[in-house]
Amino acid sequence: MPVKLVERLVRSLAAHDHAVLILKDASATGAGIEPGHDYVIVSPKGESAIDPVSRWWFKAHDISVRIVESLDEDEHPEHTVRVGVCGTKRETDAAARELRESFGDEVSLHHFGAVAPFITKSEPENQIVILEAFEKDVNKWTAISWLAGRHGIDERRVAAIGNDINDVVMLERAGWAWRWGTQYRNVWPRRIGRRGGMGRMGGARD
């Protein structure tokens, strides 16, 4: 992501008192800091300000993180893949509105339910969610398309399975697609016709 865009995103999210999760290209951040950091987390209040679900995710998946007080301590802001936060829907709604209003088409923005180690049956406003911003036109499909091109694979031969809002473009563009689950049945149909007559795959039983 462009450094200036990263700076603006971090500033905006930090203003809402969030610990800002900056996903890095770990292979490119070995000079000047410990190599292999998957995330730099801007959190002036330290680890205690990071949402428990994020801390669980990092530990469960052995994800390397570096906690800093300011983005100035990130020596490689140019190697940022994504900027986001994790928290309840109530806690993140204001930040999501601000990003939509302030950044518009500059970023690809997702605001959706997080994977958590527990299922809560509380009111929707207390659902744990992810708010994440990518550079414009960056999504799962752009990565798949790049990888397919690198290996000479026809994109129509790509099969994709998705279950959330950040999978929409991938499911629309893949040769074969399967929508898993019912959460976003209003976004795309369970069965999706493909380009070039390559066929389709069914979805999970409702």
- Whichever domain contains 42, its CATH number is 3.30.1240.10
pLDDT above 90 (res 192)? no
Q: Are residues 81 and 104 in the same domain?
A: yes
Residue 183, Cβ neighbours under 10 Å: how many?
A: 13
C-alpha closest to that of 203 among 187, 182, 183 = 182
Do the domain assignments include residue 165? yes
Query: To the nearest whole number, what is the mean pLDDT of the chain?
Result: 83
Return d(Cα 181, Cα 163) in angstroms, integer: 6
The string of pLDDT tens digits covering residues 4-61 is: 999 999 999 999 999 999 999 877 766 555 556 899 999 999 999 999 999 999 999 9
Q: Are residues 124 and 148 in the same domain?
A: no
Please count the structural domains in the chain.
2
What pTM does this model have? 0.77
Do the domain assignments include residue 24? yes
The string of pLDDT tens digits covering residues 110-131 is: 998 888 887 665 677 888 999 9
Q: Are residues 74 and 102 in the same domain?
A: yes
Range of the domain at 185: 140-197
pLDDT above 80 (res 104)? yes
Q: Are residues 32 and 119 in the same domain?
A: yes
Do the domain assignments include residue 177? yes
Do the domain assignments include residue 18? yes
* Cβ atoms 40, 32 nearer than 8 A: no
Q: Are residues 55 and 151 in the same domain?
A: no
**Boundary residue ending a domain (112, 135, 158):** 135
